[in-house]
Amino acid sequence: MQRKVSFRNLAGLVGRATGLGEKEVTKQRSKFGTNEIVERVGSPWLELIVDTLKDPMVWFLVSISAVFYFIGEFSESLILILATLPLIFMDAFLHFRTQASTAGLRSQLSSKVTLLREGKEVIVDSLDIVPGDLVVLSSKNLFLPADGYWEEVDSLQVDESVLTGEAFPVKKSSIEFDPFVTSGEAFVETSILGFAGTRVLTGKGVLRVLSTGKSTSYGEIVQSVVKISHERTPLQSSILELTRLLVYASVVLCLAIAAIRFYQGHGWLDALLSAAVLAVAALPEEFPVVFSFFLGVGVYRLAKHHALVRRAVSVENIGRVTQICTDKTGTITIGKLELAHFVTSDNFSQTQILLMALAASNAEGSDPVDIALICEAKLRGINIPKRLNVIPFTEDRKRESGFFLYDNDLTCAIKGSPEVVLSKSDLSQNEKLKWIKEVEDLAKGGHKVLAVGAIQVSQKDVESCLEPEGGFTLYGILAFEDPARPEVKEAINYCQDNAIKVLMITGDHPDTAGAIAKDVGLIDSNPIVVSAELEPEKLEDE
């Protein structure tokens, strides 16, 4: 898969493997600024005050309260001020939560990063990164702080679910710095690209930074959230219109009553206060109070379900929803791999194949497959074997090997691509074809499939970390999947009972999507699948 990438930010740089020099860093920082994802302009609290004072009911009550205060009627003034506080404090509280959640988006980036500058590794704040910098990354400093391409990789796998929603790790490859493309754009394989906010699962690499701050893919997402306009809901607009009408009517009434009282011989202050008291009594000032309380209860209930509400008035819009478009991975599904299927050879049990897979896994790593195997082992009460030596997974090998002691015999266990493991097995050609068909059936269902094998080795093989070229006994294959959340089925049933149509949008295989849809009750029979790739016209029309 290719993506169009701009290299213009690297124009004028030498692209040394030792990193940028001090002059280049200064030049790039003056041109592109700091690596700041969330940037606030102006005072957020001033914006809150201005937004709140747009409500005519608020300033009308405050102005009448001020009049009572200046003539010495402190109790009446206090009562009117208290009537406005629920509305003001509700907006202030929600504004504070919004600011905190927006700022929290930056936590997806590493605060400290290791850079190569002038041939030395230096640790700097992520804000100091500029286009052209070389960032050294591994599973110890997980999150990528900027967008770029990989100049060096070593068994590197990256979790890009924060951008793509897919739980499977992405294997990365590298390219060298090319000064001839820095003046324009080029189509490149996404496997060489790294994106801010994603995280390293296994291996290590050196990333040449292309974009920083708001120009990154992650920054664009954050900015789209920050720039959401505060549109009024229909109910809020109706209340505002009614309030405005009542305020205008009250002003006219005030003036009329004040004129009558003054005509009757009362003083101008007495006439004005009498008119104001009558207007306040006639105005339903509980509108904003009750409305705020109603929205506050909605926000509280949503917060108990870990839902983030940027504006309280959004609660009303939830009741107007007629159709929901939802992602699959991480929304309908859990967002992490689980061991779903064992297909074992005739002579072996599930425990035996799991034990061999564990011997070829890194118990201290963050690979989703290894984590899923360790979780399954804990559920079954299986101890993780102590490995004597390891040959790690690489893109070339497509497998991981572990040497350990099994039943008093030195054993080499391998776990990896079914094609590779089967090619190293002692199976006949017909047996291999049978297993390949099994792998294909599971893969069509969207499973990640791995094969597991083992062979006895000598002490010399263990010490020299030498893996046999063939003769492995196939223990079987393992299939991993991202299962549905248990609470989703009930939620979808609720939507269907209330005439809310639910559409699932995913990049997965149609068979996988259909299986998940049936599992959560989205469909009863065969799913209606519309492919944006194969049927773009149908997708746009329907």
For range 49-68, the mean pLDDT: 68
pLDDT at 347: 85
pLDDT at 420 (0 to 100): 93
- Using pLDDT thresholds of 50, 70 and 90, give the confidence band for residue 402: very high
Residues of the chain with CATH 3.40.1110.10: 338-481
CATH number of 338-481: 3.40.1110.10
| pLDDT tens-place string over residues 279-301 | 666 666 566 556 666 766 777 77
pLDDT at 263: 78
* Residue predicted with more confidence, 52 or 32: 32
Tokens for 464? 């020299």
Work out the pLDDT band at 161, boundaries 50, 70, 90: confident
Q: What is the pLDDT of residue 171?
A: 83
Q: What is the dihedral of CA 260, 263, 264, 265, to 10 degrees?
A: 130
Enumerate the CATH 3.40.50.1000 domain ranges in the chain, comma separated: 323-334+485-541
Which is it for strands 134-138 and 112-117: parallel, antiparallel or unpaired?
antiparallel
How do 170-171 and 147-159 pair as beta strands? Answer: antiparallel
Residues of the chain with CATH 2.70.150.10: 2-37+109-226
Q: What would the 3-class secondary structure string for 15-64 be?
A: CCCCCECHHHHHHHHHHHCCCCCCCCCCCHHHHHHHHHCCCHHHHHHHHH
Q: What is the mean pLDDT of the chain?
A: 80
How much is the pLDDT for 453?
A: 96
Q: How far apart are CA 149 and CA 207, in angstroms?
A: 6
Q: Please, which residues have CB within 8 angstroms of residue 378's CB and are 6 or more apart in sequence?
A: none
267: left (phi over 0), alpha (psi -120 to 50) or beta: beta
pLDDT reported for residue 97 = 58
DSSP H or E stretch at residue 358 = helix 350-359
Q: Buried b / exposed e across 478-495, counting CB within 10 Å, b at 16+? A: bbbbbebeeebeebbeeb
Q: Which CATH superfamily is domain 323-334+485-541 in?
A: HAD superfamily/HAD-like (3.40.50.1000)
Please check the confidence at residue 99 and state whether its pLDDT lies above 70: no
The first and second tokens of residue 468, run together, are: 């046999």
Predicted pLDDT at 289: 58
Classify 154 as helix, strand or coil. Answer: strand
Query: Lowest-pLDDT range, 48-62, 332-346, 436-450?
Result: 48-62
Distances (CA, A) of 486 to 53, 409, 519, 521: 45, 43, 10, 11
CATH number of 2-37+109-226: 2.70.150.10
pLDDT at 232 over 70: no
User: 3-state class of 539 per DSSP?
Assistant: helix
Span 172-181, pLDDT tens digits = 888 887 655 6
Range with lowest mean pLDDT among 300-314, 368-382, 393-407: 300-314
Question: Tokens at residue 503, please?
Answer: 């559409």
Q: Comparing C-alpha atoms, which of 490, 500, 498 is closest to residue 520?
A: 490
Distance CA 214, CA 211 (A): 8
What does the alpha-carbon distance between residue 309 and residue 311 come to, in Å, rounded to a whole number?
6
As to burial, measured by CB atoms within 10 angstroms (0-12 exposed, 13-18 middle, 19+ buried), residue 341 is: middle
C-alpha–C-alpha distance, residues 436 and 449, integer Å: 11
- Residues 495-507 have a mean pLDDT of 87
Residue 53: band (very low, low, confident or very high) from pLDDT cuts 50, 70, 90: low
Q: Is the pLDDT reported for residue 334 higher than 60?
A: yes
Contact 150, 192 (CB under 8 A): yes
Q: Which two tokens stand for residue 539?
A: 């997708």
**Lowest mean pLDDT across 53-62, 111-120, 381-390, 430-439:** 53-62
Q: CA 538 to CA 542: how far, in whole Å?
A: 6
